[in-house]
Amino acid sequence: MTDTLTIVFALYPRVTHLDFTGPHQVLCRLPGAVTHLASVDGGALTFDGVTFGDLERLADIAACDVLCVPGGFGTMDAMGDARFMGEIRRLAEGARYVTSVCTGSLILGAAGLLKGRRAACHWAWRNQLALFGAIPDGGRVVRDGNVFTGGGVTAGIDFALTLAAEIAGNGFAQGLQLSLEYAPAPPFDAGRPETAPPEVLARVRAMLDATGATRREAVEAAALAM
Q: Which pLDDT score is estimated for 53?
A: 96
- What does the pLDDT read at residue 1? 41
- Determine contact, residues 156/23, Cβ cutoff 8 Å: yes
pLDDT of residue 145: 98
Listed residue (76, 80, 58) closest to 11, CA to CA: 58
> Angle formed by the axes of helices 155-168 and 17-27, to 10°?
30
How many other β-carbons are positioned within 10 Å of the β-carbon of residue 216?
15
Which residues of the chain fall below pLDDT 70?
1-2
When the pLDDT of each residue in the chain is averaged and rounded to a whole number, the result is: 95
- Regarding beta strands 135-136 and 118-119, do their DSSP bridges make them parallel or antiparallel, or are they unpaired? parallel
Terminal Cα distance for the chain, rounded:
33
pLDDT of residue 142: 98
The kind and range of the H/E element at 150 are strand 147-150
**pLDDT given for residue 225 in this prediction:** 83
Q: Out of 28, 64, 68, 102, which one is annotated catalytic? A: 102
**CA distance readout (Å), 115 to 8, 111, 134, 155, 210:** 22, 10, 5, 22, 29
Angle ∠(226,99,104) on CA atoms, nearest 5: 60
- Residue 102 known to be catalytic: yes
Please tell me whether residue 173 adopts helix, strand or coil conformation: helix
Reported residue count of the chain is 226
pLDDT at 68: 98
* pLDDT tens digits, one per residue of 46-81: 999 999 999 999 999 999 999 999 999 999 999 999
